[in-house]
Amino acid sequence: MTALAVITAATNSQRSVIAVHFWHGVEALGFLLVTLGGIGIVEWRERRRTGRPKSEPVVRAVEVTTESTAPSRWQQQRPGLLRVAALCSAAAAGVHYVVMPDHFHEALIYGLFFAVTATSQVGYAVLLLARPSRPLLFVGAVANAGVLVLWLITRLVAIPLGPGAGTTESFGALDLLASGFEVLFVLSAVALLLPLRESTLPRLPRLSRVLLEPGTLAFVTSAAVLIGLTAYAAPPS
């Protein structure tokens, strides 16, 4: 009986490990599908919007730069700041996808919250890169600030809903990492919104070009490694 119990326990443990890795694969696939699907839809809509018949001449505007119209150093830095904001939103979504399966095990409402939040954040990042606007940036800043406030409430006051209502959660490495990305997003958004006299944000190149730029690839790679190492060293409990 003892040997059988050991074998049974080992089999159950192996199945548990396989299940965990399966859900990690599902969340990674979901993240990629949402990101790539969003990029594809945006690029398709952009091609439809800018498409012209072959017979129609294309008029190109000539940009004249003088001392009075030359972009300031701040204006030159704004496109980079816009990329940082969008990529921080996507990085926070990546952390939320990592912890999502554990929250589904706790309660459906917790898992759904993280699934919706993560998908919204990565979809928002794609939209911000493709169609940057001040209202969109303002909405993103408010939404991420709201997530940060809720995170602090669950750690310092009490969880408002679900089976854990009335209790508090402890601070963990992964939630600190996600909140760090969200803080960076809010700071970048505020910096972009502060020049009130400017009504528009800088236009970026095509989304596929932005994502293939060395700075973007370096940020994405660094964020992925940081999330992976944090999840390995301090997995969600």
For 172-219, write each residue's pLDDT tens digit: 999 999 999 999 999 999 998 887 666 666 666 666 677 778 888 888
Place of tokens 């992976």: 228
What ranges in the chain are assigned the alpha helix state H? 2-50, 73-106, 108-130, 134-156, 173-193, 207-211, 214-233
- According to the 3-state scheme, what is the secondary structure of 20-47? HHHHHHHHHHHHHHHHHHHHHHHHHHHH
Q: How confident is the model at residue 14 (pLDDT cuts 50, 70, 90)?
A: low
Dist. CA 116–CA 93, nearest whole Å: 10
Residue 178 counted as domain residue: yes
Q: Is residue 201 part of a domain?
A: yes
Measuring CA to CA, which residue among 218, 216, 213, 191 is closest to residue 202? 191
Q: Is 215 part of a structural domain of the chain? A: yes
Within a domain: 18: no
**Does residue 192 belong to any structural domain of this protein?**
yes
Nearby residues of 107 by Cβ (< 8 Å), 6 or more positions away: 162, 163, 164
CA distance 166 to 163: 9
Token duo for residue 134:
């001040």
In terms of pLDDT, which residue wins out, 142 or 214?
142
pTM of the predicted model, to two decimals? 0.68
Q: Is 186 exposed, middle or buried (0-12, 13-18, 19+ CB in 10 A)?
A: buried
Q: How far apart are CA 115 and CA 27, in angstroms?
A: 9
What is the pLDDT at residue 118? Answer: 94
79 touches 87 (CB < 8 A): no
**109 domain-assigned:** yes
Confidence of residue 62 (pLDDT cuts 50, 70, 90): very low
In a domain, 84, yes or no: yes
> What would the pLDDT profile of 63-101 be if each residue is shown by its tens digit?
444 434 444 444 455 778 889 999 999 999 999 999 999
- Does some domain include residue 168? yes
Domain that holds residue 86: 78-237
Q: What is the mean pLDDT of the chain?
A: 76
Exposure pattern of 65-103 as b/e (b: 16+ CB <10 Å)?
eeeeeeeeeeeeebbebbbbbbbbbbbbbbbbbbbbbbb
143: tokens are 């939404």
CA gap 4, 23 in Å, rounded: 29
* Closest C-alpha among 40, 47, 80 to residue 204: 80
Number of domains in the chain: 1
